[in-house]
Chains A and B, each alone.
Chain A
C-alpha cells in the first residue's frame, strides 16, 4: 500500500533534510551565497560593524515576522503591523518623553496597545468574518491615524543611550571593553524558541495550523476556531509591540504617518522562510532565516553602491520569487 504514497527523491528523503526541511536548507545556502557575494563585492561589508547593522535590521523584522507567521499559517495576513509598529512605539515613546512615565511602563503600554489592536484585528476576522486582507488594511490606516493623533503629529525619540532612562537601548546593544555587542539577538532567539514550541507543541499552535489547513474541519472537530484564529492576530499584535520597542531602541526616531511597507519586508521574510500564503504551513525558524535574508539585502545592497530605488526593486523581485516558489509548492501538494 505504501506505493500509493507520493515519494520524494534521494535528497528530500535524506533524514537530515527531512527534519530541517528543504526550503530552510535552500534559504541557508542563499544566505551564505549572499554574504559571500557582498563580502567579495564590498570591502566595507567585510567588517564587524556590518554584523551590528544587519542585527539592527533583524530585531524588529524578526519580531514582526514571528507574529505575522501565525497569521499567515491561519491562511490570513496582518497588514497592520508596519504602521502598527510606528503607532505603538509612538504612544509608548510619547508617554515616556512627554509624560515622564518610567521606561518600563512605556514598554508595557507599547505591548498592551499592540495586544489590543491584535485582538481587534482578530475579532474582526474571526467573529466578523471579514477577509484578513481587508480587515487589516483598514486597521493599518487606523493605526496610522492613531499614531498621529496620540502625539499630535509629533515625531518621537525614545530616550538615547546617554540619558539616565536610556537603559532600554542596552537591551539590544551593549558596549563591553570598547566592543559593541548585538545582544538583542538573544531576545530574538529566546522568543523564536518559545514561539516555535508554541507553534509545534501546544494546542494553540496545533489549532492555528489546523485552521489554516481546513477551518471547517477544525470547527467540526470541536475546536473553538474563533478563539484560536483571534489568538493568531493577538500574537501578531504582541510581537508588533515588541518590534516597536526594538525599532525605537535601535533607530531612535519614530515619525507619525510612516511605517507602511515594513509589513511587506516581514511577510516577505516569512514567505522566503517557507511559510505559505495559503495557510497551514510555516515555521518560526524559517521566518528568522527569511528575515535574515531581508536584512542582509537591506544592509548589503547600499554597500555595493545601489541607489535606494534599485534596492526596492531587487527586494520586490526577491519577494515575487519567494511567492512563486510558494505557489509552485502548493500546486505540488494539491
Chain B
C-alpha cells in the first residue's frame, strides 16, 4: 500500500514538475497561455454573479465568455489576438477557452455549459457540433444570455439563440480557391485527351467549416468546368460526394476525388496526398486547412510533383503557418486562401459589446483573401499571415 501511494505521489510530482517547467518556458513567448486565465476566471466569475444585472444596465464592466474550437492551429491564436486587442480597446473582460483538439466535442460542450453558468453579458461561440451543444445553447437562452457565433458559427441553432455571426463565409472561401485553381488548369482540362483528376484533402468530414470549404470548392469548380462544356464526377468520401451540388456523370472528363483520413494524423494525410500524386491523371490538389495543406507539403517531398510549371501538379492550400508560407513563396504552391482571423476576433468582441449595449446587430462576413508569392508581402495580406 505504501509503495503504491509512493508511486502515485511520485507520478504526481513528476507531472507537476513537467507542467511547471513547461509553464515557465512559455513566459517569454508571445502567445498567452490558457491556464493563466483560469486563475483570474474563478474570482471574477463569482463577482460577476452579483454584478451581471446591474452591469448590463450600466454598460460598465462587461464580461464575455468566448468558446472557441481550441488552439491547435495558429489561426486561433490570431483570432485570440484580435479579440484581446478589441477587448482592451473597449475596456471589457473576457475568458477565451477552447478544447485540446477539434475532435473533443464533449469537452467543448462542457466549456459552453461552464460559460453559461458564469452568467456573462454575452457568449461568443464557434461550435464544433451544434447538436451536441444544444443543451448549453438552450440554457443560455433560458438565462437570457445572447450568443454570437464566429468562425463556422452555430449552424442550425434554435431560433432566437444566435443574435449574429461573425464568420468567414467558408463556402465562398472554397469558391474563391476553386476560381483561382481553375484559372491555372483551365487549358489542361480543355486540351486533355483522357480523364483528369482534381484532388481535395479534408482533415475531417464533420466540422461545418471544413465541409463548406470543401463543398464550395467542389461545387464552384464543377460549375466552371461544366460551363466550359466538360463533364464532372465526384468520388471518394461519401459525405462530400452526397452533398456536392454539381451534376455528376460517370466516366466524366474531370474526376474530383475527396480524401479524408481516418484520424487526425499528419502521416495519414501525407499518404493521402501521395496517393493522389501517384495517379498519373492528377492535375491539381486542394487542401482545405492548415493540417491538410501542411500534409501536402510533406507528401510531395518524396515525389516533387507540385509546382506551377508545365506538367506540374497545381497545389492550392488554405490558412498560413511557416510551412505553407514557405511553400507559397518558393512556388511549390500556386497560392493559398487566408481568412482574416484578427478581424474576426475584433468583430466578435465588437458585436458582443453592441448587443450588451442594446444595439441591433447583423451578420458580419469577416472575409478571406487569396495570396501568392507575388502579393504575400502586401501589408493588407501580411497582417493575416502568421507563422
Contacts and interface: CB of A to CB of B under 8 A. Distances in A.
Complex: A in contact with B (CB within 8 Å): yes
Interface of A: 42-45, 47, 49-50, 52-53, 56-57, 60, 91, 94-95, 97-99, 113, 116-117, 119-120, 123-124, 127-130, 139, 142, 144-146, 148-150, 152-155, 157, 160-162, 173, 180, 247, 250-262, 298-299, 302-303, 307-309, 311-312
Given A53-B302, A252-B298, A302 B275 contact: yes
A188 to B, nearest CB: 16
A116 B14 contact: yes
Given A53-B274, A257-B104, A302-B275, A142 B15 contact: yes
A220 to B, nearest CB: 19
Contacts of B28: 99
A250 B271 contact: no
B227 interface: no
Nearest to B274: A53
Nearest to A100: B28
Contact of B264 (A124, A139, A154, A255): A255
Contact of B278 (A94, A123, A152, A303): A303
Given A146-B18, A146-B19, A258-B101, A49 B303 contact: yes
What range describes how many residues of B lie at the interface? Answer: 35 or more
Nearest to A142: B15
B3 A98 contact: no
B315 to A, nearest CB: 15
Q: Chain B binding site: helix, strand, loop or mixed by DSSP?
A: helix
A139 B10 CA distance: 13
Interface string B109-120: 000000000000
A162 B72 contact: no
B317 to A, nearest CB: 13
Pairs A-B, 9 closest by C-beta atoms: A257-B101, A153-B71, A44-B278, A128-B7, A257-B100, A150-B22, A52-B302, A251-B266, A302-B275
B72 A91 contact: no
Interface of B: 3-4, 6-8, 10-11, 14-15, 18-19, 22-23, 25-26, 28-29, 31-35, 70-74, 76-77, 98-101, 103-104, 236-237, 259-268, 270-272, 274-275, 278-280, 290-291, 294-295, 297-298, 301-303, 321-323, 326, 330
B55 to A, nearest CB: 30
B72 A153 contact: yes
Contacts of B8: 124, 128
Given A152-B31, A302-B259, A302-B275, 4 more contacts: A152-B26, A153-B98, A257-B100, A308-B261
Contacts of A91: 22
Contacts of B3: 127-129
A279 B104 CA distance: 35
B174 to A, nearest CB: 21
A258 B265 contact: yes
A50 B277 CA distance: 11
Contact of B259 (A155, A250, A308): A308
Nearest to B74: A154
Contact of A261 (B7, B104, B263, B274): B263
Contact of A256 (B100, B295, B302): B100
Given A127-B6, A146-B15, A312 B262 contact: yes
A155 B73 contact: yes
Q: Chain A binding site: helix, strand, loop or mixed by DSSP?
A: helix
A155 B15 contact: no
Given A99-B25, A253-B323, A149 B35 contact: yes
17 contacts: A53-B274, A113-B18, A123-B11, A130-B7, A149-B35, A152-B29, A157-B323, A160-B326, A173-B301, A180-B301, A247-B266, A252-B294, A253-B298, A256-B72, A256-B101, A308-B268, A311-B262
Contacts of A308: 259-262, 268, 272
A152 B18 contact: no
Contacts of A155: 72-74, 290-291
A303 B275 CA distance: 6
B194 to A, nearest CB: 15
A251 B263 contact: no
Nearest to B71: A153
A257 B25 CA distance: 20
A136 to B, nearest CB: 12
A201 to B, nearest CB: 31
Contact of A128 (B4, B268, B291): B4
A309 B101 CA distance: 21
Nearest to B34: A152
Nearest to B6: A127
Contacts of A124: 7-8, 10-11
B264 A162 contact: no
Nearest to A299: B271
Contacts of A123: 7, 10-11
A312 B265 CA distance: 13
Contacts of A149: 19, 22-23, 35
Contact of A302 (B7, B264, B272, B291): B272
**Residue among A42, A49, A116, A251 with the most chain B CB within 10 A?**
A251
A57 B267 contact: yes
Contact of A99 (B29, B34, B266, B297): B29
A252 B326 contact: no
A253 B287 CA distance: 15
B61 to A, nearest CB: 27
Contact of B298 (A117, A119, A250, A299): A250
A309 B239 CA distance: 13
Contact of B100 (A148, A162, A180): A148
B62 to A, nearest CB: 25
Nearest to A87: B18
A120 B294 contact: no
Nearest to B279: A44
A160 B322 contact: yes
A150 to B, nearest CB: 4
Contact of B271 (A45, A95, A117, A302): A302
A127 B259 CA distance: 47
A167 to B, nearest CB: 16
Contacts of B303: 49
Contacts of B237: 307
Nearest to A261: B263
A194 B271 CA distance: 30
Nearest to B33: A152
Nearest to B73: A155
Contacts of A180: 301-302
Contacts of A44: 275, 278-280
